Structure 1
């Protein structure tokens, strides 16, 4: 091989390297921007399965709002009576350990969760507390795994791997996540979760997308707990974009207010 060819090879490799290789963070930032309304309320029907067997059905609502330098999230069960008014408040400021509060009406107790407890399961579902958090773009490094290709029922999705940095890695229950962003909307229609040993333990899969108030939203999603052969399905019953939710709804006082 002559010296001219040897000199040209690095340039050729740079020219043929996939264009998606270094834009993963920009794509995630775009996804984050396109998903976030100023505020939002969603009503769900939750179905819990053990294998193929339906074990419980619940109703709940979720409120989200941008508040100064953080996102506020309030999740509250509305039925049945056994879980009514059990609630969760997350003050997501992008830190590894966000402020997470839970309220139990039977004991009238309000409890703050330590950072390491965000790995715990939420109310017998297949979601952990950290599954309700944002992308937390500053706490992760992002890498594109492949060019756009079909996923689930969509013709084109980008696969982007997220690995936690420093403090986030110390308290997260996951060693990494893989987001499948539907190319047109940049909505994460699937998320793969790998435990600290690198084993795929959970998958969140979206059944369909709808546009509400200019934002793409799922019609239903299922969290598949592969390790336990269980799943939690979230059917979206109503979405209200930018209804003007008060900041006061995202306080400990509001968390204790039973409806």
Structure 2
């Protein structure tokens, strides 16, 4: 059985015990719905979540864009910039999921979950799934802003599907990083700061805003091989209709690797935190 909302006495639904996979799926859906209901009741969270990447678009497009030499394949700086903004938005936006989980841990809600016969992994997966849907909404809004400032993606349906799949996959993966940080940082106020300290350098020391060729040797090597750059370098040519080379496969490896490493760490941290 799973809980739907923390604002009232738990309302539960029966999960078929004969089908554990179906039960786990239903638990994840109900827990994700709980987070989305909370988000709907606090629309200012979405407002600020979309305002920040929109400001980055306007700032880089009109303040710095004229001084930056773009790489091959992009017809203007907006077309070069927007794929990087998409990945930056989901990377930094993932910390909202970590903060929400930390708040649930400190409010005692997780103790209520422990009294229910639900999978502990479903609690974490529900948060990351809700984060994926939240960040998808943010990306859609930022996409419209990009069109307004000159972003002109190529009309290649297969390329778009592949780019969107990579963005969603990376969103899900980076959400597990945020959840892990929330579970291992005991101070609620420090959770967001710790996440931004770890994730923000990845978004700026990358190919999101400038080609990495302008960076000095060691910094350039790091920028070209870290996961944010790899995913951006996979998504950008897919949107522009150019050959992405091996980058989609490298991005997929990063996504699978991040989930494989951080989801067990998150579950272990959750078990440790709830056993106290």
TM-score class, shorter-chain normalisation, is under 0.3
The structure that is strand-richer by fraction is: 1
The higher relative CO (CA closer than 8 Å, separation ≥ 6) is in: 2
Higher helix proportion: 2
TM-score, normalisation: structure 1:
0.20
Taking structure 2 as the reference length, the TM-score comes to 0.19
